Structure 1
């Protein structure tokens, strides 16, 4: 179970290395770097890795490095794509704690000291995260008062992820113990869309997971429309990536987890449930084929004979969707989404998507 503890002040001054990958975000770089260099009560160093941006990002980064000795630059001559860029940068930093911060995101004032205070007080914690408000142009005023710290034992946090099947971590708010990051080596190129989730899960195999409650730890920038153009096809791709994520975790990090936990089966059922919940939602006829692919994927993850009740719930929900009121369905979906968002903001965890088969 999660343990809630009172926050303690930071009594040391550790060094935090912040690696900033950049591709065509040169216009955001000065604000991003400033949000790091202005952090108080910790020593910071910044490494910008520009992945051969054609927009002049490397020149912006070079000027920032020339202006402050705490900033370094690695500029690629050819584009290596995001995973290789992440891992090159992470391998080149050596702080007590490590952050990967996208060039278009920002840290909130005091966030590094708040995160590091938790890990300095609890050396068993491998990774800390928090809440990151989204923004488009100007970030909102941050909440800076910490109400409490949450600490999960690593296997307990992993189990929560298997059951809830929602990645509650945005990325810019993550601070990882440097020794853990160096052991884990970084991001897995087999997972171009879910490598961050695997990294958080693997951190839970090496130590406890902490969360800062009450304060806003970073800002996650949203660009334009973030929804998939085709809902069912987009969710199918996402579930396939998470399926591979858990298969890799329980295959390659099994030695770091309790024997006989059976969590892979739990994860597969949770993914099947999400596929069925999504497939049961009303949508345009043009998406019937992607919807059918979701149902087929659910059958692969959790066959009907393994969990008949789950599939019976799906059939009932699907029947209601065919003959129900689409406006009411969308309203219920919107309310449910708001409740999930509020739970995430408060606790750092999300409830499972939808309502069928929950809790079994």
Structure 2
């Protein structure tokens, strides 16, 4: 494992591969601090995805295939192939904004007690317009338990899980992403919140693409028996971790 390596993890399924080239362009345009490199773990979720047809050959990019299990199972499989000391989420239909990785790395290097970061997001609309929204926390530390407190009240996290960057030790301690058909990234975020102080970066780090094919458009994403079950297990998982952790966790 290389100390100065950040691993970006991207699940992609057959119907979601169309935007992968745009995601790739946003990654290769990133400027990293001296001594840092990135690797991109693209995990094909199921058969007939053909991600390599959308990405030029690059030794920093490693594509693999696993049986269809949903995006969060695919992320965790890709985690097993990663080597970085930092783990970064990157969805196949989103774009990193300029400087996003450098800002994540800078926080982790300057604040050794910080376990994870998230950042502001701009919604990328179908016509290309970028839209901001209100409600973000202030730039700086997010004290342990803050994300759970907000989620308990609103049933949504106060920061966007699609922008997560975390220390490898924490992600591994949590077993990667929760194996859910949706909201597995929220489950990991609340787990990180239980174990370590986070940091919110107010400068937008992601262009979050809004389109008809994203899983959040499924009616079951935000209501119904499946939603209730997902929320129950995410909440109980986070509360159990908080109950177990009584002091700072060494990173």
TM-score bucket of the superposed structures, by smaller chain? 0.7 to 0.9
Higher strand share: 2
Residues of 2 paired with 1:44 and 1:230: CA distance? 35
Out of 23, 28, 31, the residue aligned to residue 40 of structure 1 is: 31
Larger C-alpha radius of gyration, 1 or 2? 1
The two structures have a TM-score, normalised by structure 2, of 0.80
What count of residue pairs does the alignment treat as equivalent?
Answer: 234
SS in 1 for 2:104: helix
Matches within 5 A, 1:217-256: 217-224=205-212, 234=223, 237-251=226-240, 254-256=243-245
Residue 104, structure 1, aligned to residue 117, structure 2: no
Residue 26, structure 1, aligned to residue 20, structure 2: no
Residues of 1 paired with 2:147 and 2:246: CA distance? 12
Change (3 A) 1:125 1:28: same
Residues of 2 paired with 1:28 and 1:128: CA distance? 25
Residues of 1 paired with 2:118 and 2:146: CA distance? 16
SS in 1 for 2:223: helix
SS in 2 for 1:154: coil
Which region of structure 1 is more displaced relative to structure 2, 92-101 or 217-226? 217-226
Higher helix share: 1
Residue in structure 1 matched with residue 103 of structure 2 by the alignment: 114
**Deviation string for 1:91-111 (max 9, x for gaps)?**
211212111211111111101
User: Structure 1: which 5+ runs fail to align?
Assistant: 1-12, 259-360
Contact 1:27 1:57 in 2 (8 A): no
Per-residue deviation at 1:253? 5.1
Per-residue deviation at 1:227? 5.8
Out of 148, 154, 162, the residue aligned to residue 144 of structure 2 is: 154
Residues of 2 paired with 1:95 and 1:139: CA distance? 32
Contact 1:32 1:103 in 2 (8 A): yes
Contact 1:45 1:70 in 2 (8 A): yes
Which region of structure 1 is more displaced relative to structure 2, 131-140 or 90-99? 131-140
Pairwise CA RMSD of aligned residues? 2.9
User: Structure 2: which 5+ runs fail to align?
Assistant: 133-137
The two structures have a TM-score, normalised by structure 1, of 0.58
**Deviation string for 1:241-294 (max 9, x for gaps)?**
212211222235521157xxxxxxxxxxxxxxxxxxxxxxxxxxxxxxxxxxxx
Residue 86, structure 1, aligned to residue 57, structure 2: no
Change (3 A) 1:59 1:152: closer
SS in 2 for 1:28: helix
Residue in structure 1 matched with residue 135 of structure 2 by the alignment: none
